[in-house]
Structure 1
Amino acid sequence: MTDLAKSFEPADIEARWSARWEQLGCFDPTLDAARESFSIQLPPPNVTGTLHMGHAFNHTVMDTLTRWHRMRGHNTLWVPGTDHAGIATQIVVERQLQAAGLSRHEMGRQAFVDRIWEWKRHSGSTIARQMRRMGDSLSSKYEYFTMDDKLSRVVMDSFVRLYEQGLIYRGKRLVNWDPVLRSAVSDLEVESAAEEGSLWHLRYALEDGSGAVVVATTRPETLFGDTAVMVHPEDERYAALVGRRVRLPLSGRLIPVIADAAVDREFGTGVVKVTPAHDFNDYQVGQRHGLPMISVMGLDARMNDEVPEPWRGLDRFEARKRVVEQLQADGALVEVKEHQSMIPRCTRTGQVVEPMLTDQWFVATTKPGPDGRSLADKALEAVRGGQVRFVPENWVNTYEQWMRNIQDWCISRQLWWGHQIPAWWGEGGELFVARDEAEAQAKARAAGYRGSLRRDEDVLDTWYSSALVPFSTLGWPDATRELDLFLPSSVLVTGYDIIFFWVARMIMMTTHFTGKVPFRDVYIHGLVLDAHGKKMSKSEGNVLDPVDLIDGVALEPLLDKRTSGLRRPELAPQVRKATEKEFPQGIPAFGADALRLTFASLATLGRNVNFDSKRCEGYRNFCNKLWNATRFVLMQVEGLDERERGMAECAHDCGPEGYLDFSAADRWIVSLLQRTEQEVAQGLADYRLDFAAQAIYQFVWSEYCDWYLEIAKVQIAHGSPALQRGARRTLLRVLETVLRLAHPIIPFITEELWHKVAPLAGRGGATLSLAPYPEAQPSKLDERSEAEIAGFKQFVDACRNLRGELGVSPAQRLPLLACGDTALLQRHGAALQALARVSELRVFASREEWAAAVQTAPTAVVGDASIALFIEVDRAAERERLQREAQRLEAEIAKAQAKLGNASFVERAPAAVVEQEQRRVAEFGATRDKVLEQLARLGGS
Structure 2
Amino acid sequence: MTTETNPDIIDKTFDPAEIEARLYAHWESTGAFRPARPDAKPFTIVIPPPNVTGSLHIGHALDNTLQDVLIRYHRLKGRDALWVVGTDHAGIATQMVVERTIASQGLKRADMSREAFLSHVWEWKAQSGDTITRQLRRLGASCDWAHERFTMDPGFSAAVTKVFVDLYNQGLLYRDKRLVNWDPKLQTAISDLEVEYREIDGSMWHVRYPLEDGSGYIAVATTRPETILGDGAVAVNPDDDRYRHLVGTRCRLPLVDRLIPIIADSYVETDFGSGAVKITAAHDFNDFAVAGRHPEANIPLINLMNPDGTMSDACPDGYRGLTREEARKKVIADFDALGLLDKIEPHKHQVPYGDRSGVVIEPYLTDQWYVDAATLAKPAIEAVRSGKTKFVPANWDKTYFNWMDNIQPWCVSRQITWGHQIPAWYDSHGKVYVATTEAEAKALAGPDAVLTRDNDVLDTWFSSALWPFGTLGWPDQTPELSRYYPGDVLVTGFDIIFFWVARMMMQGIHFMGEVPFATVYCHGLVRDAKGAKMSKSKGNTVDPLALIDRYGADALRFTLTAMESQGRDIKLDEKRVEGYRNFATKLWNAARFCQSNGIAASSSGTPPAATAPVNRWIIGEVVATARALDSAIAAFRFDGYAETAYQFVWSRFCDWYLELTKPLLQTDTGALNTSFDWQLRDETRLVTGWALDQILVMLHPVMPFLTEELWHKLGSRDHDLILAAWPVTDEGAIDTDVAVEIDWLIRLVTAVRSARTELNVPPGVRLFYTMTGETAAQEVRRLRNTAAIQWFSRTAPNEGTPESGGAKLQVIHDGATFSIDLGDAIDIGAERARLEKNAAAAEKERDALTGRLASPGFVDKAKPEAVDKARSDLAARGAEAERLRAALARLG
TM-score by length of 2: 0.93
Question: Is this contact kept in 2: 1:387–1:520, CA < 8 A?
Answer: yes
Equivalent-residue separation in structure 1 for 2:890 and 2:164 (angstroms): 85
Counterparts of 2:271 and 2:496, CA distance in 1:
33
Q: Where does residue 797 of structure 2 map in the other structure?
A: 841
- State the 1:843 CA deviation: 4.5
Q: What is residue 300 of structure 1 aligned with on the other side?
A: 308
What is the match of residue 387 of structure 2? 386
2:693 aligns to what? 736
Q: Does 1:818 align with 2:767?
A: no
Which residue of 169, 185, 208 corresponds with 1:180?
Answer: 185
Letter in 2 for 1:118: E
Q: Which residue of structure 1 aligns with residue 378 of structure 2? A: 377
Deviation at 1:836, TM superposition (A): 1.6
Q: 1:68 aligns with which of 40, 52, 73?
A: 73
Question: Judging changes above 3 Å, is the alpha-carbon distance between structure 1 residues 622 and 903 closer, same or farther for their aligned structure 2 residues?
Answer: closer
Cα contact 1:31–1:485 (8 A) shared by 2: no
Q: Which amino acid aligns with 2:488?
A: S
| 1:743 alignment partner AA | H
Superposed displacement of residue 47, structure 1: 0.3
Q: 1:94 to 1:333 in 2, by over 3 A?
A: same
Contact 2:99–2:108 (Cα < 8 Å) also in 1: yes
CA–CA distance in structure 2, aligned partners of residues 143 and 874 of structure 1: 69
CA gap 1:804/1:59 in 2 versus in 1, 3 angstroms: same
**Residue correspondence of structure 1 range 265-276 to structure 2 within 5 A:** 265-276=270-281
1:451 aligns with 2:404: no
2:740 corresponds to: 787
Distance 1:454 1:924, change over 3 A: closer
- Counterpart in 2 of 1:753? 710
Match of 1:698 in 2: 647
SS of aligned partner of 1:39: strand
Q: Which runs of 5 or more structure 2 residues have no equivalent in the other structure?
A: 1-6, 860-865
Change (3 A) 1:421 1:650: closer
Matches within 5 A, 1:482-561: 482-551=480-549
**CA shift in 2, pair 1:713/1:184, >3 Å:** same
Other structure's SS at 2:243 match: helix
- In structure 2, the residue matched to 1:597 is 558
Q: What secondary structure is seen at the aligned counterpart in 1 of 2:661?
A: helix
Deviation at 1:11, TM superposition (A): 0.6
In structure 2, the residue matched to 1:417 is 418
Matched, 1:93 2:69: no
Question: 2: CA distance between counterparts of 1:895 and 1:131?
Answer: 49
> Match of 2:639, as an amino acid?
D
1:243 to 2:241 alignment: no
Work out the CA distance in 1 between the residues paired with 2:314 and 2:712: 77
- 1:843-922 maps to which residues of 2 (within 5 A)? 843=799, 855-863=806-814, 865-873=816-824, 878-880=828-830, 882-883=832-833, 885-887=835-837, 889-890=839-840, 893-894=843-844, 897=847, 907-908=857-858, 911-912=867-868, 915=871, 919=875, 922=878
* 2:257 alignment counterpart: 252
1:360-389 Cα deviation digits (max 9, x unpaired): 1111223xxxxxxx2111211221222211
Q: Match for 1:721: what amino acid?
A: W
Aligned 8 A contact 2:232 2:280 in 1: yes
1:406/1:665 CA distance change after superposition, 3 Å: same
Give the residue type in structure 1 aligned to 2:440.
E
Paired residue secondary structure (1:637): coil
Q: Tell me which of 28, 43, 56 is aligned to 1:38.
A: 43
Once structures 1 and 2 are overlaid, which stretch shifts more, 264-273 or 907-916?
907-916
User: 2:658 aligned with 1:709, yes or no?
Assistant: yes
C-alpha distance in 2, partners of 1:490/1:630? Answer: 36
Does the C-alpha gap of structure 1 residues 883 and 394 become closer, same or farther in structure 2, counting only changes over 3 Å?
A: closer
Say yes or no: does 1:431 pair with 2:402: no
Q: Distance in 1 between matches of 2:605 and 2:323?
A: 87
SS at match of 1:361: strand
Amino acid at match of 1:828: N
- Structure 1 unmatched ranges of 5 or more: 367-373, 552-588, 655-660
Paired with 2:684 and 2:156, the residues of 1 have a C-alpha distance of 57
Alpha-carbon spacing, 1:357–1:31, altered in 2? closer, same or farther (3 Å): farther
Distance 1:414 1:727, change over 3 A: same
Partner of 2:786: 829
Shift of 1:398: 1.2
Match 2:592 to one of 617, 623, 631: 631
Q: Which of 568, 571, 583 matches 1:610?
A: 571
Q: 1:677 aligns with which of 626, 634, 639?
A: 626
For 2:807 and 2:688, locate their aligned partners in 1 and report how far apart those are by CA, in whole Å. 42
Structure 1 stretch 479-488 or stretch 909-918: which is displaced more? 909-918
For 2:514 and 2:241, the matched residues in 1 are separated by 54
Alpha-carbon offset, residue 884 of structure 1: 5.5
Q: Give TM-score, length-normalised by structure 1.
A: 0.88
The alignment status of 1:309 with 2:309, answered yes or no, reads no
The whole-number CA distance in structure 2 between the counterparts of 1:684 and 1:894 is 45
Partner of 2:27 in structure 1? Answer: 21
Distance 1:650 1:482, change over 3 A: closer
C-alpha distance in 1 between matches for 2:882 and 2:249: 81
Letter in 2 for 1:40: I
The alpha-carbon deviation at position 117 of structure 1 amounts to 0.5
- Asked if the contact 2:759–2:887 (Cα under 8 Å) also holds between the matched residues in 1, the reply is no
Distance 1:831 1:530, change over 3 A: same
Q: Partners in 1 of 2:239 and 2:752 — Cα distance?
A: 79
Among residues 790, 796, 812, which one is paired with 2:749 in the alignment? 796
The CA distance in 1 between the partners of 2:45 and 2:602, in whole Å, is: 41
Residue in 2 that maps onto 1:558: none
State the match for 1:110 in structure 2.
115
Q: CA deviation at 1:530?
A: 1.4
Give the counterpart letter for 2:223 in structure 1. T
Change (3 A) 1:853 1:777: farther
Deviation at 1:898, TM superposition (A): 5.9
Alpha-carbon separation, structure 2, partners of 1:920 and 1:140:
50
User: Which amino acid is 1:314 matched to?
Assistant: L
Say if 1:802 and 1:869, in contact at 8 Å, map to a contact too.
no
Partners of 2:169 and 2:890 lie apart in 1 by 91
Q: Residues of 2 paired with 1:726 and 1:332: CA distance? A: 97
Once the two structures are overlaid, the 10-residue window that deviates more, 431-440 or 132-141, is: 431-440
Distance 2:873 2:463 in 1: 59
1:586 maps to which residue?
none
Contact 2:249 2:262 (8 Å CA) reproduced: yes
Greater Cα shift, 421-430 or 124-133: 421-430
Displacement after TM superposition at 1:868 (Å): 2.9
Q: CA deviation at 1:819?
A: 4.0
What per-residue deviation string (whole Å, max 9, x for no partner) do you get for residues 878-916 of structure 1?
Answer: 425533553454455456546756899774265446546
CA distance in 1, matches of 2:254, 2:525: 48
Aligned to 2:305, the other structure's residue is in SS state coil
* 3-state secondary structure, aligned to 2:811: strand
Distance 1:602 1:902 in 2: 31
C-alpha contact 2:853 2:871 (8 A) present in aligned 1: no
Distance across 1 between alignment mates of 2:725 and 2:288: 60
Structure-2 separation of matches of 1:345 and 1:767: 51
Letter in 2 for 1:63: D
Partner amino acid for 1:57? L
The aligned counterpart of 2:4 is none
Task: State the one-letter code of the partner of 1:58.
Answer: D
Conserved 8 A contact 2:8-2:714: no
- Per the alignment, in what secondary structure is the counterpart of residue 531 of structure 1? coil
Contact map agreement 1:897 1:921 (CA 8 A) in 2: no
Q: Distance in 1 between matches of 2:424 and 2:605?
A: 73
SS of 1:311's partner is: coil
Give the Cα separation in 1 of the matches to 2:603 and 2:192: 63
**CA shift in 2, pair 1:338/1:43, >3 Å:** same
Is 1:363–2:371 an aligned residue pair? yes
2:443 aligns with 442
User: Aligned with 2:597: secondary structure?
Assistant: helix
1:205 aligns with 2:161: no
d(CA) in 2 for partners of 1:128, 1:664:
49
Match of 1:584 in 2: none
